[in-house]
Amino acid sequence: MFSYVAPRKPRINHRQRYSRLRWCYQHLSWAENDWSNFIFTDESNFEILNRKNRIYIRRFRNDLKRFERSQPRVHKGGSVGIWSYLTYHGLGPIVFYDGSLNSDKYIDILDHHLPTVYEKFLPQSPRKILLQQDNTRPHVSIKTREYFKKKKINPIPWPGNSADLNLMENIWSILDDKLLKYNINNAEQLKTALKMAWMEISHDTIQKLFESMSKRIRQVIKRRGFASHY
Residue 52: what pLDDT?
52
E strands within 27-177?
Answer: 38-47, 56-59, 79-87, 90-91, 95-97, 130-131
Predicted local confidence at residue 37, as pLDDT: 86
Q: What is the DSSP letter of 37?
A: G
End-to-end Cα distance, the chain: 15
Q: Work out the angle between the directed axes of helices 213-222 and 203-211 (0-180°, nearest 10).
A: 30
d(CA 10, CA 162): 9
Widest Cα–Cα separation across the chain: 50
What is the pLDDT at residue 40? 97
The residue extents of the domains of the chain are 36-222
Measured N-to-C along each axis, helices 203-211 and 167-178 cross at an angle, to the nearest 10 degrees, of: 140
Per-residue confidence (pLDDT) for residue 15, from 0 to 100: 96
* Residues 6+ away with beta carbon under 8 Å from 228: 164, 165, 216, 219, 220
- Find the helix or strand (DSSP H, E) in which 3 lies: strand 2-5
Domain 36-222 classification at class level: alpha beta
Question: Using alpha carbons only, how large is the chain's radius of gyration in Å?
Answer: 18
**How many CB atoms are located within 10 Å of the residue 138 CB?**
18
Q: Which of 38, 34, 75, 36 is nearest to 53 (CA)?
A: 75
Amino acid at 126: P
The per-residue pLDDT string of the chain (230 residues; one tens digit each, 9 = 90 and over) reads 444 454 556 689 999 999 999 999 999 999 988 898 899 999 999 988 655 544 333 333 343 343 333 344 444 568 899 999 999 989 999 999 999 999 999 999 999 998 887 777 666 555 678 999 999 999 999 999 999 999 988 999 999 999 999 999 999 999 999 999 998 889 999 999 999 999 999 999 999 999 999 999 999 999 999 999 99
Q: Give the model's pLDDT for residue 212.
A: 96
**Reported pTM:** 0.83
Torsion of CA 72, 165, 147, 151, to 10 degrees: 150
